[in-house]
Structure 1
C-alpha cells in the first residue's frame, strides 16, 4: 500500500489555510459575539431565576405632571368624532411615517378598508394612521400640504407636533393610548401596527368575536419577546445606554410590529403612561414596562409574526393574523389570503393532515426564522 505524500501535504496546507481564516474571523468578531452571548445569558438568568421587575417601576416612576409632559404635543390633524355613535369592535392604529403615502393607500384599498370590512364582516373596525411631523425641515412644508390634502379625502390621519423619527416611537405609543382614551374609549379592542404589516382582518375579527363571547379580559397578544437584553452596541438603532436603562433584562413585551389589547388593558396602559418616565425610545419595550407596572402579561399568539414575513401558502392564510415586511405585495397577498378557496384547502380529515404537513415543512425548519413558530403547524 502506497501513500501519496504530495496529496497529504496539499490537504494539510488547505486545512491550515482554512483554520487561519476561521481564527481570523473569530478574532475580528469575538468581542461582538462574546458580548452578545454574555448579555443574553445575563438576561435569561434574571428572567427565569428572579422574574421580578418591581425595581423598574420604582426607578422609572415620575410625577403625573412630568409623565404627562412626554406626550403633551398639540394636534395638527385630529378627528374627535371618529368613533362617535359606533359600536367599535377594533380600533386599529397604523404607525406611519408622513412620507409613506403609497403604503397608506395600499392599506386603505386592502385590509384597512373599513367600509368594506363593515359590509363583509358585519362589525365596525376603525383604522387611524398616527404620525408626527416630517423630520426633514426642507421638505416639511410640502409634505404637510400633501398630508392635509390626503386627510381631506380620507379623514383618517391623526398627527401631533413632534418630529417623526425612530427615536420618537414611544411618543407615538403615548399618542395612541391617550387618543384612544379621549376619543374611542368604548372600543372593545385596540391594535397597534406598523405600516409595512399585513393584517388578516377577517381572521382577527373572528378570533376577537370568540373572545367577546367568552368574556375574556386582560388580553394582550402578539409575538412575545421574553428575557430580551438591552442592546449596548452603539452602532445599532436599538442601542440603549446604561444611563437610560441600567439593568440586564427587559420585562416581557410583544413585538411593536403588531399587537392587540382589550379595552381594560388599554385603559390600564393609559394610566401607566401617566406615572412612568417615557424617555426610553423603544416603544414596544416601554409598552412592556407599562404592562408590568399594572400586572398585565403578554400572551403569545402563534400567528402574529415578529420581524419576519410569513410563508405564502393557503394553509398559512387560513389562520394568519399578521405578517411583517410588506410594501409592494399587499394587494396580491390580500387577494390570495382572503380568497374563498382558502378554507376549502383544509376541509375534511385529509385536508387537515395535508395542511399540517405543509406547515411543518414551512415552519419547522432547522434554522431560525422570526415568523411563526413550529408549534403553529399543529394549531
Structure 2
C-alpha cells in the first residue's frame, strides 16, 4: 500500500522483532492508512459535487415600497412664546378667544416647513422660465378640491409657450384629533404630485395672513424669477387660458407693478363680534381699510410679489389676509386695480339667464364659490370646440 511505503524504512519493524509485536504494528498502520484513504475520497467527492452542480442564485430581495415624504423640522426654528403683555390692553379679556390667541401670537412668523417643494420652479436660476405660478390656499381636509384643481384649471402644463406651475399652501388642522391622519393624507398627495407647501401652524381663518407671508418668503428664496403669481382660494374657478392671455397682453408687466382682482375701496373693519370678519379696535383703530383686491383670487406680477415680501417685514400681521396685502401696497406707494374678468362675488348673471352658462365663464378669468364637481363640468364645457356664444366680453 502506497501510504504505508511512504512512511520510510525507519518506521518498519525488524525481522528479529517478536511475532505479536509485528502483528500489532501492521494492524495499527493498516487502520491509519484506511482512514487516510477515506478522508481523501471524501474530499474528492466534495470537489466533484461542487463543480457538477452549479451554485443556485438567491432570489432577489423585494424592493421596498416608496416611503412617504418625511416631515422636516429645522432645528433653527424655536417655538414662539406667547406675548403675555397683551393682557394689559384695555378690553382684552372681553374679546373672543380666537382674537385673543391672534393677539398673543401675532409676532410669530417662523414656523417649521413640514412639506416643501424647493425645486418647483427650478430654483432661482430656473424660475424665470415659469410664466405663471398658481399659489392656492387650501385647508388640510380639502382633498377633493385639490384633486379636481390638479385635473382642471390648476394642471401643470405649457400653454401657448407659457409654463404654468402649481403649489397648495396649507397649515395643520386646528382639530388635534385630525392632525395625524390629515398630515398623512398630505404626505400621500406630496408623494404623488409634489405640489404641497405645508407649515406647522394652525390652519385657521385668522392665520391666512401668516400663510401668505410664509409663502412670499418661500417665493423669494425658491422662485424669485417667476413672471406672474396667481393667489387665491381652492373654491374658485380659474380660466387659466384667459389669465395667460391677459398677462401676455400686459407686455413687460412682470417687471412692473401689477395687481388685479375684484377691487374694494372705502371698506371698513367689521366691529360686530359674531362676524367671521370681526376686527376690534385693539387691532385696528382706523375706520377705513386701504384699497385691496378680494382674497378669493388675484393676479400679480413678479415685481409686485417681491414688493409685498419686502414690505411685509415691517408690517405687523393683520387677521384679514387680503386687507393685509393692501396695507403692504399702500406702504410701498402702490395701488391695486380692478379687473372685470375677476368675480370673487359670483358671476353676476342678469335676469333669467343661467348663472352656470359656460358662455359667461369662457370670457372671464375667475369666479368664486365652486364645488368640486362644478369645476370639472365647467372646465370641460368652456373647452368644448363646438361651444357657440353670442356677444363676447372683453377681458382686456
TM-score when scaled to structure 2?
A: 0.67
Asked whether the equivalents of residues 315 and 355 of structure 1 are also in contact (C-alpha less than 8 Å), the reply is no
Number of corresponding residues: 281
Any residues of structure 2 matched to 1:1-379 within 5 Å, and which?
Answer: 70-84=108-122, 85-86=126-127, 87-114=129-156, 117-118=157-158, 120-212=159-251, 217-278=256-317, 280-309=318-347, 311-327=355-371, 328-342=373-387, 345=389, 354-355=390-391
In 1, the alpha carbon distance for the partners of 2:144 and 2:381 equals: 20
Asked whether the equivalents of residues 217 and 309 of structure 2 are also in contact (C-alpha less than 8 Å), the reply is yes
Q: Per-residue deviation at 1:296?
A: 1.3
Runs of 5+ unmatched residues, structure 1? 1-66, 346-353, 357-375
Q: Per-residue deviation at 1:264?
A: 1.1
Asked whether the equivalents of residues 106 and 316 of structure 2 are also in contact (C-alpha less than 8 Å), the reply is no
Asked whether the equivalents of residues 265 and 296 of structure 1 are also in contact (C-alpha less than 8 Å), the reply is no
* Cα-Cα RMSD: 2.1
Q: Per-residue deviation at 1:316?
A: 1.8
CA change 1:198–1:378 in 2 (3 A) is closer
Q: Deviations over 1:61-85 (max 9, x none)?
A: xxxxxx9953211100011111013
Which structure's relative contact order is higher, taking Cα pairs within 8 Å and 6+ residues apart? 1
Q: Which runs of 4+ in 1 moved over 6 A?
A: 376-379
In 2, the alpha carbon distance for the partners of 1:208 and 1:229 equals: 31
Asked whether the equivalents of residues 228 and 301 of structure 2 are also in contact (C-alpha less than 8 Å), the reply is yes
Secondary structure at the residue paired with 2:342? coil
Q: Per-residue deviation at 1:242?
A: 0.5
Q: Per-residue deviation at 1:325?
A: 0.6
CA change 1:221–1:105 in 2 (3 A) is same
In 2, the alpha carbon distance for the partners of 1:281 and 1:149 equals: 31
Q: Which of the pair is proportionally richer in helix?
A: 1
Q: Deviations over 1:210-245 (max 9, x none)?
A: 113577721010000000010000110100001100
In 1, the alpha carbon distance for the partners of 2:226 and 2:232 equals: 16
TM-score when scaled to structure 1?
A: 0.70
Asked whether the equivalents of residues 68 and 274 of structure 1 are also in contact (C-alpha less than 8 Å), the reply is no
Asked whether the equivalents of residues 363 and 395 of structure 2 are also in contact (C-alpha less than 8 Å), the reply is no
